[in-house]
Amino acid sequence: MTLILAILGAGGSFVASTTTPLTNAVRWGLTIIVISTVMIGLVYTLFRSRARQTTRALRVRCEEALGFHPPGTYLEGQTLYGEELRKYPARGAWLNLIYALVLAVGVGFLVVIWSN
């Protein structure tokens, strides 16, 4: 993901620094590249997010199978893991902000392309 953002950022900087105006054919070509790259980034982020949630859910299931959550299994009258850790798969929603970042970088690059 970082590589995709770096490519779009470097491309935007390069296009912004050129003194020769871009032809319409070049603009359309770059637009197709930017849209394709952004779509790859969004799909990658979607699959990564799903994999993260599935892995976290599997971890909680393994912890439950090992008896980490019921009281008294490992500690007298206490749980080894608190109830809040059962909600672990749903945590980390802030990681989904990468969707907005990918879109923002792509839109920024398109603005640079079409305003040059």
Per-residue pLDDT tens digits for 40-82: 989 988 998 899 889 989 988 998 888 888 888 888 888 878 7
User: Among the ranges 23-27, 73-77, 96-100, which has the highest mean pLDDT value?
Assistant: 23-27
- Mean pLDDT of the 80-109 span: 83
Rounded-to-integer distance, Cα 78 and Cα 52, Å = 29
Query: Which domain range does residue 110 map to?
Result: 2-115
* pLDDT of the residue at 28: 94
Closest CA to 96 of 53, 54, 57: 53
pLDDT of 115 strictly over 70: yes
pTM: 0.72
Phi-psi region for residue 67, left (φ > 0), alpha (ψ -120 to 50) or beta?
left
Rounded-to-integer distance, Cα 86 and Cα 98, Å = 25
The mean predicted confidence, pLDDT, of the chain is 86
Closest CA to 111 of 7, 12, 9, 3: 12
The fraction of the chain above a pLDDT of 90, given in percent, is: 16
Q: Say how many domains are in the chain.
A: 1
Which residue intervals of the chain are DSSP H helices? 2-17, 24-65, 98-115
